[in-house]
Amino acid sequence: MNIGLLARIEAKPEYADKVESLLRDALQLARAEEHTVTWFAFRENATTFGIFDTFEDEEGRTAHLQGRIAAALMEVAETMLSSAPDIRPVDVLAAKLP
C-alpha cells in the first residue's frame, strides 16, 4: 500500500443522512474492488464526510477512480452535495494495520 486517495464530501444539510447511507453501502463495492487495499468512510461533522483508501499502484488507484463508488458520488453530487467532492491523491508514508 503505497498510494491513496483522500476525498472530502460536503453534503447539503437536508441530504446528510442519505450521503451517510450511500457511504455505508459503498463498503460492499469497495470490498469487491480487487486493487483497493484499504477503504475507510468517515464523518467529520453533521454535513462533512470523507473517504480514505489505499492502493498498491497507480493502476489500482485509477481503476478505483473509474469505478462504481466514484460514479455513485458523481451521480448524486448535483442534488445532494454542496459542491463536487474534493478528491486528492496522496502518498502513504507509514501505516499501522491490525
**pLDDT tens string 5-15:** 999 999 999 99
Q: What is the pTM of this model?
A: 0.94
Copy the grid coordinates of residue 11.
453534503
Long-range CB contacts for residues 63-71, cutoff 8 Å, separation at least 24 = 63/33, 63/34, 63/35, 64/5, 64/33, 64/35, 64/36, 65/5, 67/29, 67/33, 68/29, 69/26, 69/29, 69/30
**pLDDT tens string 40-58:** 999 999 999 999 999 999 9
* Res 1: pLDDT: 84
**pLDDT tens string 56-78:** 999 999 999 999 999 999 999 99
